[in-house]
Chain A
Amino acid sequence: DTEVTQTPKHLVMGMTNKKSLKCEQHMGHRAMYWYKQKAKKPPELMFVYSYEKLSINESVPSRFSPECPNSSLLNLHLHALQPEDSALYLCASSQLGGRTGELFFGEGSRLTVL
């Protein structure tokens, strides 16, 4: 199984809603990532978890709250978002200490904030 699975694929929410994005992998990877991607732009790193601990937070606003309940799951909790937060949110995973270090990406969750 070389897949990273993200749910939901599409999400529309109002600025007062609370929702969550979910990500799952069963490759035994111990690093998991959240990226944000706007249209026609490269992915921008948001968070990195290593061994289920938050290791990198790229100065992301607190209305985005990541959670890594176990080594296979990564969540992104959303609250009081703004319309400019509308984007494709990509989850990725990789081996830690692996030789090649490639990231495996999910298909993304497309978020629209009204």
Chain B
Amino acid sequence: GEDVEQSLFLSVREGDSSVINCTYTDSSSTYLYWYKQEPGAGLQLLTYIFSNMDMKQDQRLTVLLNKKDKHLSLRIADTQTGDSAIYFCAERRSGYSTLTFGKGTMLLVSP
């Protein structure tokens, strides 16, 4: 199976909160990341969390990490139409410089 799994699609209304979920399988992962990709663009780093943390908040973004269940989530408060994009979670394993990406979750925000 995939190393990093995400649901493929999420649709929300403007102003609602969005929660994008991710599960990973490697318990040696040191850092976990969320990237955003708008159509035709590169990947933009949104935030990251160290594996010994369980929560990180950055303005409208909240990352929750459940290390026991290997579950990572990204909550976007007050979602805007400009948040419509594909969101990738990625893990960095201990001793590796490369990242393993999930398949990406397409977030569609409707007015």
Q: Please state if B33 and A102 are interface contacts (CB–CB under 8 Å).
A: yes
| Count of chain A residues near B, Cβ 8 A | 27
| Count of chain B residues near A, Cβ 8 A | 23
Question: Closest Cβ of chain B: how far from A40's Cβ, in Å?
Answer: 8
Give bound CA distance, A107 to B103, whole Å.
Answer: 19
Give bound CA distance, A105 to B50, whole Å.
Answer: 20
Q: Does B43 sit at the interface, judged by CB under 8 A?
A: yes
Give bound CA distance, A109 to B25, whole Å.
Answer: 32
Complex interface: stretch among B13-21, B61-69, B75-83, B94-102: B94-102
CB within 8 A of A105: which of B42, B48, B106? Answer: B42
Complex interface: stretch among A69-77, A79-87, A93-101: A93-101
Q: Please state if B41 and A42 are interface contacts (CB–CB under 8 Å).
A: no
Proximity string of chain A (10-50) to chain B, C-beta cutoff 8 Å, 1 when within and 0 when not: 00000000000000000000010100000011110100101
- Residues on B lying within 8 angstroms of A by beta carbon are 30-31, 33, 35, 40-45, 48, 50, 86, 88, 92, 97-99, 101-104, 106
Closest 9 CB pairs between A and B?
A42-B101, A105-B42, A105-B43, A107-B42, A108-B42, A101-B92, A106-B42, A102-B45, A42-B103
- Residues on A lying within 8 angstroms of B by beta carbon are 4, 6, 31, 33, 40-43, 45, 48, 50, 55-56, 90, 92, 94, 96, 100-108, 110
